[in-house]
Amino acid sequence: MTHNLSFDFYQKNKSSVQAIRKYSQLREILLSYPSALLAYSGGVDSTFLLAAWHEVWKDKKKNRVDVTVRDNKVVTGKSARTDSEESESPRLLACTILSPLLPTGTAEDVQKMVDFMDAEHRFLQIDPLREPFMSKNEWDRCYHCKLHLFQSLVNLAKKEKISFLFDGTNVDDLKDFRPGHRALSELAVFSPLAEAKLTKDEIRFLSKEMGLPTWNLPSMACLASRIPYGVAVDKKKLQQIDAAELVLHKLGFPGSRVRYHGDGARIEIDERYGRNASFLLEEPYRSHVISALKEIGFRYISLDLEGYRMGSLNPNRDSLDS
């Protein structure tokens, strides 16, 4: 399916003009990557990147233009290829890693999106809970986990003779505390959206203009991010968190988080995507949530008055330096 970005809306506001300029930069960047494997989550960023790559390379794929990577540079056309070099047709393989760290329904949502995009895609099944870094759950757990998971993508790319590995990191992500970025750097994973300096809001804006149904999806994060550092991550805790958040989502609170505190559940409501948090204090919402979360295994249920905020369980940076 084709997803064309219309440029007739540039007069709407200054932010749209800036977004278009960055999209043009992204297109130029993607022209240097005819063959890539994309770590695909089905979320806003990776779906937009998948659509943008196909938009850039669709004509070359249609006309069967030969592409050769020589000295880390892209050369197109048969005349540019020597007998000893192998040409490659433009190809983007999207790959999703399924694990207990993902919310229920992730695989189904991803499959719907890749079918909608008519994209080449594969699932990989990996269980990082067997690894020691999960039971320790130290402040750099995300680094070890991402290194473990993305190494499997590196191996798949080599097997498929794919030259580059992409992820959907945007420029806003670089401002947050994310130890996993170090793993991406060590594995030479490239982040085109961050390279083009695209923000989350700009990606949502451009996604909407491209007709992508993911444009207004809440941000996603692995379920382990709901567990405080120092508390072991295991399947039972993840299932509790997943089930509790599903209760909230079904009630009209998408994107909300349930932070795990032993026998207590701290609810963070993201009011950007659903009802106001005050609804949870009214009946029948209040009784339903209390009953459902206690049945899941929580003894105490509290509503965080600050609402959802990214990285609310992140360690204090000063403590990491001490």
3-state secondary structure of 288: helix
The per-residue pLDDT for 10 is 40
In sequence order, which residues have a C-beta less than 8 Å from that of residue 158 and are 6 or more positions away? none
Report whether 33 contacts 52 (CB < 8 A): no
Q: Does residue 216 lie within any of the structural domains?
A: no
The per-residue pLDDT for 216 is 93
Q: Does residue 160 lie within any of the structural domains?
A: yes
Report whether 90 contacts 119 (CB < 8 A): no
Looking up residue 292, the CATH number of its domain turns out to be 3.30.70
Q: Does residue 214 lie within any of the structural domains?
A: no
User: Same domain, yes or no, for 241 and 285?
Assistant: yes
User: Same domain, yes or no, for 231 and 203?
Assistant: no
The per-residue pLDDT for 177 is 75
Ranges of residues in the chain whose predicted pLDDT is under 50: 1-11, 63-65, 67-81, 83-85, 317-322
User: Same domain, yes or no, for 257 and 298?
Assistant: yes
In sequence order, which residues have a C-beta less than 8 Å from that of residue 250 and are 6 or more positions away? none
The per-residue pLDDT for 4 is 47
Which residue from 144, 225, 217 is spatially nearest to 187, judged by alpha carbons? 144
User: Same domain, yes or no, for 155 and 201?
Assistant: yes
The per-residue pLDDT for 98 is 97
Q: Does residue 1 lie within any of the structural domains?
A: no
User: Same domain, yes or no, for 28 and 88?
Assistant: yes
Domain end residue (candidates: 186, 209, 232): 209
Q: Does residue 309 lie within any of the structural domains?
A: no
Give the span between the Cα atoms of 106 and 118, in whole angstroms: 18
- For tokens 């399924």, name the residue: 98
- If phi over 0 gives left and psi between -120 and 50 gives alpha, with beta otherwise, what is residue 42? left
The per-residue pLDDT for 186 is 96
Q: What is the pTM assigned to this prediction?
A: 0.86
> What is the number of structural domains in the chain?
2
In sequence order, which residues have a C-beta less than 8 Å from that of residue 132 and are 6 or more positions away? none
Just list the catalytic residues: 222
- Segments forming the whole domain that contains residue 265: 223-303
3-state secondary structure of 112: helix
User: Same domain, yes or no, for 89 and 186?
Assistant: yes
Burial of 42 (0-12, 13-18, 19+ CB in 10 A): buried
Helices 285-296 and 235-250 sit at what angle, rounded to 10 degrees? 160
Task: Determine the straight-line distance between the first and last CA of the chain, rounded to whole angstroms.
Answer: 52
User: Same domain, yes or no, for 145 and 44?
Assistant: yes
User: Same domain, yes or no, for 200 and 253?
Assistant: no
The per-residue pLDDT for 88 is 65
Burial of 129 (0-12, 13-18, 19+ CB in 10 A): middle
Q: Does residue 191 lie within any of the structural domains?
A: yes
User: Same domain, yes or no, for 204 and 227?
Assistant: no
The per-residue pLDDT for 180 is 85
Q: Does residue 90 lie within any of the structural domains?
A: yes
As a dihedral over the C-alpha atoms of residue 46, residue 48, residue 53, residue 59, rounded to 10 degrees, the angle is 150
Looking up residue 137, the CATH number of its domain turns out to be 3.40.50.620
CA 53, distance to chain mean position in Å, is 16
